[in-house]
Amino acid sequence: MTRPLVYRRYGGSLQVSIPSFEVLVDAVKIPETQWLATACPLEGLQCDPRFLAFVDTDGNKRIRVHELRAAVEYAAKMLKSYQGADTASDVLVLDTLSEAGTKLRDVAGILLETLKAGDRTRITLEQVRTSEKALLEAGQNGDGIVAPAFLPEPLRALAVKLMACFPEVKNRAGQAGVDLPMLQRFREERSALLTHLAEKGFVLVWGERSVEHARRIQEIRPLLDTYYLQCRLVAAQPEAVSSFKLEPGRVQGALGDTQALARVVSELPVAPPEPGGALRWSRLYRGQAFERLEAFRKDVAVPLTGDLATLADSAWRELLTKADAILAWQARLEASPLRGLVDALAGIPESELEALEAACRADLALKDKLDAVDELERLILYQRWLLTFANNFISMPDLYQTKRRALMEKGTLILGGRRYRLSVLVTNRAAHAALTSQGTTCTLYVQVVAKEGGESYEVAVPATRGRSDGLAVGKRGVFYDVEGREYDAVVTQIIRQPVSLWEAMTMPFGRIGKFISSKIEGMAAAGEKTLDESLEKGYAQGTQTAPAAPAPGAPAAAPVAGPGGFIAATGIAFAAVGSSLAFIVSQVRSLTVFDVISAAMILAAAVMLPSGLLGWLKLRKRNLALLLEGSGWALNDRLMLTRDLAAIITRRPRLPKNAKVDRTDVLQSVLATAREDDEEEPRSPGMWLLIGLVIVFVVLWQFREPLIREACKRQWMAGAACDSLMTPGSSPSVPPAPPAP
């Protein structure tokens, strides 16, 4: 190493500092265990996609350690000056190329000459891409695939015919064309097909209808092969003739069933088998195959054999042999890719094929030149992005900056009056949430939708400051990507965790409040339901027809339902509640004000301190690495979310420096104006004052003894008054007055 590497601490994580490309050349040599990341997905990175494609040499959509090392080594070999890489410039100064980059310098000169550029000492990424696009549009691809549009007029028709015969091949510009392997295969297939066509006269012995006759023979073959086998059986064993006849019982049983009769008839041979092995057309059974056999006799058998009465076994075998040869010849013809050019094969001049080959070879000769154009684009992209990418892979200092963006960041979320600066792309929310839920960081999953209905994606956003009780699924905000484009944002899921120490300490009270409110709401709903049921039952009983008078000796049963029962039950309930409150008040009256305040503070501390301790431990364990690992990153170290980093990620900007705050409530003036136009409602301030005085009196009366004792202790009242107001033995001792001098 030329100089010692410097490691810096970022939020508790020790990371190597890479301020320049020269340092990067040494930094990539450190062990992989000291890299912050060892692999990352291409998706979600805010940089040139062509740069990522060049670094991802194996094309698996992930960048690994060895691929980044190879990219840095390539750039270091091609450049003798790293000034452009240090400034992340997309302009390559040709004098900074080393001897290994001589070919790139030459091709850069050709491109600048093509573009007629004024400055021939440097070339930009835009110029490279413009010139490459111009070359591709001109049909110069360097892959030997020539599209018909770039061929002379006489060759275009032939090229189109060849392309129709063989699988499509496309050049680097995405255009279909012809290449040398296609031309070579055409020559081979043409030679084989011409040889095959030369055998046509020897194979097609039945003239132009040879193929048709052969196919008809193949169609009827199963029937006649079976018949001639039956003839051989009869010749060997004459008594077998009876086996091919139907039993009278089967025929008799099938007469009433058409389907059964058809099955019986299908078992008959096509004709009575003869030991001599000849098929007499006049003896054909009128079975299911009768029409097919009769048509075969007229169209094929008689014209080919010349025998009007019979078809011998030997003649049938001869027909089969010739038909097999014809069909095999036809199958080879149909298998040829040039079957559509049979009539034009002989008329294709060799000179046109040679001209096509020359065009393909001329395009292939540009391969080195165009490959060098790709390498030139690769080098410029490496100069522009390698140092930045390394500072987001080997180390991640940009994650701790406010003026620079890390490559994995998608943008800023404005939600609930706060600015959430860090967000990463999420492609599988279920898998991502399963990982982040193992941590202690409050995480929001937000759906980002373009206002014009464009692209939509989902991001994960950590909430690191403030409170999370105002965040809820369905809450809307605004999202700005790293390029400043505005999107709509909707919260789709929240991983609940304490965001601050105060929130962690007060969370139990929130849960208690929710529990009590839910119980009160349940009790109120149950009470309303009971009241409705009682009223309905009372109304139903009142509207029923009066029953017959009971016997004199039997007293009437007291009703338990209806409004009377409900009122009685309500009174009992209020009595129980009143007795409970009386007990509580009697206990509280025996306490001093200091005791009440102390008890309240102790109770609050008993609840808040354990929750605060647990929340403090959770806040100390917050780790941003889970956020990135859920998106496909492989990290070696934790990215602890310190208090300072939390302040950077989640912010609540102050008012502008020169802004003034007008404390006047505008709503009051608007309300005053509205009241002038509205009809004044009757008020009763005396009633409200009386109610307030009664409430104050009741409260003071309930706490009279603790208040009197406290006043007597502080000598705010005379001793005689204390003795008269307090019960015997409860009055505090009043110190005697000092003697007169």
pLDDT at 650: 85
The mean predicted confidence, pLDDT, of the chain is 82
Task: Give the best-scoring range by mean pLDDT among 109-118, 230-239, 299-308.
Answer: 299-308
The CA distance from 366 to 107, in Å, is 11
User: Which of 132-141, 400-409, 519-528 is most confident?
Assistant: 400-409
Q: For residue 183, give every residue at least 6 positions away whose Cβ sits within 8 Å of its Cβ, in sequence order, or none.
A: 162, 353, 356, 357, 360
Task: Say how far apart CA 228 and CA 88 lie, in whole Å.
Answer: 89
pLDDT of residue 241: 75
Average pLDDT rounded to a whole number, residues 542-556: 52
H or E element in which residue 608 lies: helix 593-620
Highest mean pLDDT among 40-54, 650-664, 672-686: 40-54
Per-residue confidence (pLDDT) for residue 532, from 0 to 100 = 79
pLDDT of residue 412: 93
Instruction: Say if residue 376's pLDDT is above 60.
Output: yes
Q: Looking at residue 490, what is its pLDDT? A: 94
In the chain, where the domains are located? 7-139+367-400, 201-341, 411-497+622-651
Q: Cβ(104)–Cβ(375) under 8 Å?
A: yes
Predicted pLDDT of residue 253: 56
The pLDDT tens digits of the residues spanning 6-35 come to 999 887 788 999 999 999 999 999 999 999
Q: What is the mean pLDDT of residues 495-501?
A: 79
Query: How many whole angstroms separate alpha carbon 338 and alpha carbon 315?
Result: 36
**435-440 mean pLDDT:** 88
Distance CA 578, CA 161 (A): 102
Alpha helices in 391-448 (DSSP H): 429-436
Whether residue 81 has pLDDT greater than 90: yes
Q: How far is residue 385's CA from residue 24's CA, in Å, rounded to a whole number?
A: 12
Percent of the chain with pLDDT over 90: 33
What does the pLDDT average to over 730-741?
A: 48
- Kindly indicate the confidence band of residue 561, based on its pLDDT and cuts at 50, 70 and 90: very low
The answer, yes or no, to whether residue 254 has pLDDT greater than 70, is no
> Is pLDDT of 606 > 90?
no
473 CB neighbour count, 10 Å cutoff: 11
**pLDDT value at residue 632:** 92
* pLDDT above 70 coverage of the chain, percent: 81
For residue 440, the Cα-to-chain-centroid distance in whole angstroms is 24
How high is the pLDDT of residue 130? 86
Given a contact cutoff of 8 angstroms between Cβ atoms, the answer to whether 255 and 295 are in contact is no
> Which residue, among 346, 340, 343, has the nearest Cα to 160 in the 3D structure?
340
Residue 556 pLDDT class (50, 70, 90 cuts):
very low
Of 31-35, 181-185, 569-573, 638-642, which range is least confident?
569-573
Mean pLDDT of 85-95: 93
In the predicted structure, residue 63 carries a pLDDT above the cut 90: yes
| Confidence tier at 390 by pLDDT (50, 70, 90) | very high
The pLDDT value recorded for residue 258 is: 65
Look at residue 514 and tell me whether its pLDDT is greater than 60: yes
* CB contact at 8 A, 493 and 445: yes
Helix (H, G, I), strand (E, B) or coil at 90: coil
- At 619, the pLDDT band (50, 70, 90 cuts) reads low
Q: Across residues 678-683, what is the average pLDDT?
A: 63
For strands 476-481 and 486-495, give the pairing.
antiparallel
Q: Is the pTM of this model over 0.85?
A: no
Q: Which of 74-88, 173-187, 478-492, 654-668 has the lowest mean pLDDT?
A: 654-668
Interval 267-304: pLDDT, tens: 778 888 888 888 999 988 887 888 999 999 999 999 99
Burial class (CB in 10 A: 0-12, 13-18, 19+), 652: exposed
- 248 band by pLDDT with thresholds 50, 70 and 90: low
What mean pLDDT comes out for the span 602-608?
Answer: 70
Q: Which of 293, 287, 288 is nearest to 216 (CA)?
A: 293
For 626-644, write each residue's pLDDT tens digit: 999 999 999 998 888 878 7
pLDDT(566) > 60 = no
Instruction: Average the pLDDT over 98-103 and give the result.
Output: 90
Res. 564: pLDDT tops 70 = no
Q: What is the pLDDT of residue 733?
A: 47
Give dist(CA 143, CA 371) in Å, integer. 10
Q: How many Å apart are CA 289 and CA 52, to the nearest integer?
A: 70
Task: Using the structure block, give the residue that is written with the tokens 């060098």.
Answer: 372
